[in-house]
Structure 1
Amino acid sequence: MSKEQESYSKIEHLKMIEEVIKRMANNSLDIKKLYVTLFVAFMVLILKEKVTMTNNDYRLTIFIMLIITVVFGFLDMYYLTLERKYRDLFDNINLGLNEENYIMKISKISMTAIVINCYNC
């Protein structure tokens, strides 16, 4: 393969990875939007039904809001970790550390890696 073809191939590979990174960032943003929507909906429910709600109803609503927060937080951390892994792949290809053309493999993501990446933010 000529130097020009190799350069073009590398640029196309980097473009593919950039598209994946954009999708991960958009997914993370969509998750945050959905979380805010659900959180506000529950807050409106609490304020609207304030007079008729008992203590158990408040506890249940707060528990549901807490579960929603944890689930959406985990999903956001997952997409952030994926995005970082693809950024590492991008950097490796850009620096010439990964010479294989059009390989999009990233290392497996463990729960520990997700939590560590969350704390590194």
Structure 2
Amino acid sequence: MDEEKKIRYLEMIQNIITRMASNSFLIKGWTVTIVVGLLAFANFKEMNSKFIIVALIPVLFFWGLDGFYLYQEKLFRKLYEDVIDLQLDEVNFSMKLSDNIKNEFNWWNVTISKTLLPFYLPVIAVILIALLIPMI
């Protein structure tokens, strides 16, 4: 019976991890959609740069939000590992993240990690190149 409690607890944590990963994936999709839409409105013949500059705002916002979801995912992965090490009588179904877990990761470091930089830097580069095209 105690083993089933531990398995249920681990399943709860895994569901949170899955939800965070899904949110991160959706944010990347929204980022591309918004940037492409705003660049399409920019009309490259007349190059209305207002739409191009406005495209930077959601990219930076979504990058930070994506970093938050990845940060949360890492925290819950650590909680998952800690629960695996718990004795069966210590299972309490708490989703509170201890200070030890929180101190192991930093939102800013996750946001500029090798996981997110390869996606968001090229998107920002495309926006900046589109902004510079009329000057050429």
> Do the two structures share a fold, i.e. TM-score over 0.5?
yes
Q: TM-score, normalised by structure 2?
A: 0.71
- Which residue type is aligned with residue 115 of structure 1? W
Secondary structure of the equivalent of 1:103?
coil
Q: In structure 1, list runs of 5 or more residues that go unmatched.
A: none
Q: Which runs of 4+ in 1 moved over 4 A?
A: 107-110
* Fraction of identical pairs, as percent: 30
Judging changes above 3 Å, is the alpha-carbon distance between structure 1 residues 6 and 33 closer, same or farther for their aligned structure 2 residues? same
Q: In structure 2, list runs of 5 or more residues that go unmatched.
A: 115-136
Contact 1:78 1:114 in 2 (8 A): yes
Judging changes above 3 Å, is the alpha-carbon distance between structure 1 residues 97 and 66 closer, same or farther for their aligned structure 2 residues? farther
Give the 5 Å matches for 1:16-27. Answer: 16-27=12-23
Q: How many residues align?
A: 110
Deviation at 1:90, TM superposition (A): 0.3
In structure 1, distance between residues paired with 2:30 and 2:113: 24
For the pair 1:84 / 2:74, whether they are aligned, the reply is: yes
Residue of structure 2 in register with 1:37 after alignment: 33
CA RMSD after TM alignment: 2.4
Q: TM-score, normalised by structure 1?
A: 0.79
Contact 2:66 2:111 in 1 (8 A): no
Deviation at 1:61, TM superposition (A): 2.1
User: Whose relative contact order is higher, 1 or 2, with alpha carbons under 8 Å and at least 6 apart?
Assistant: 1
